[in-house]
A and B are shown apart, each in its own frame.
Chain A
Amino acid sequence: GAVVSQHPSWVICKSGTSVKIECRSLDFQATTMFWYRQFPKQSLMLMATSNEGSKATYEQGVEKDKFLINHASLTLSTLTVTSAHPEDSSFYICSAGAGSGNQPQHFGDGTRLSIL
């Protein structure tokens, strides 16, 4: 089945640091990838839709200057949390679909971000 790889799986850094998370589709091309955020014991909240070769589409309330998304190829999207602060600590998950429309998304294993 479709495999989505996310890296790193876990990162701890100091407040004010910028952190980059990578999401790769390993065996298929993804024109669209999605970035979610999940707090403990809560559901996934969509942050943004990453579009290959164009600007990302952000959900309401998500700061695009805070969460920079780059989707430069059909197999890689990156999320950069700029000047991270403790309130940015969360579980970040990406997903990708192998096609457009009604196709199941496949998820990476997430990145646990802890800001000290």
Chain B
Amino acid sequence: GESVGLHLPTLSVQEGDNSIINCAYSNSASDYFIWYKQESGKGPQFIIDIRSNMDKRQGQRVTVLLNKTVKHLSLQIAATQPGDSAVYFCAETEAGTASKLTFGTGTRLQVTL
């Protein structure tokens, strides 16, 4: 979807707890989804991806869930650490677009001690 508004939604999580960041997408033709982490003043950093033929994928401390029925994507971070504090973006692309990405609005994750 397109980015709107001037304020990123914020998720505040205590250190050690699990974080869940959600993303809704609108393009039913999208078949590849990526989560990126962006720290202040830096470019997005790849976290994990998932293809539309899967509904769950796990990485190190992170899990991505895809629900194509309701066009919803989530990122779960286990045992959240202070270093996880950043803005998280989901991105989507559809086949044949040479990886042209559409970014979601982003969520700021704040990890409290």
List A residues at the B interface (Cβ < 8 Å): 1, 4, 6, 32, 34, 40-46, 49, 93, 95, 97, 100-110, 112
A43-B89, A105-B46 known; 16 new pairs, CB 8 Å cut-off, are A6-B43, A32-B99, A42-B105, A42-B106, A43-B105, A45-B103, A49-B100, A97-B99, A102-B31, A102-B93, A102-B99, A104-B46, A106-B46, A107-B43, A109-B42, A112-B41
Residues of B within 8 A of A97 (CB): 98-99
Contact pattern, B 1-18, Cβ under 8 Å of A = 1, otherwise 0:
011011110000000000
| Contact sample, A vs B, 19 pairs, CB 8 Å cutoff | A4-B43, A34-B101, A41-B7, A41-B8, A43-B89, A45-B2, A45-B103, A46-B100, A46-B101, A93-B44, A95-B101, A97-B98, A101-B99, A102-B95, A103-B99, A104-B46, A107-B44, A110-B43, A112-B41
| Known contacts A107-B44, A110-B43, A112-B41: A43-B99 contact under CB 8 Å | no
Number of A-B contacts (CB under 8 A): 75
Contact yes or no, A46 B41, CB < 8 A: no
- Cβ of B56 < 8 Å from any Cβ of A? no
Residues of B within 8 A of A101 (CB): 95, 98-99
The 6 closest A-B pairs by CB, nearest first: A43-B3, A107-B43, A102-B32, A43-B103, A44-B103, A109-B43
- Secondary structure class of chain B's binding surface, majority of residues: loop
Chain B nearest Cβ from A96, distance in angstroms: 9
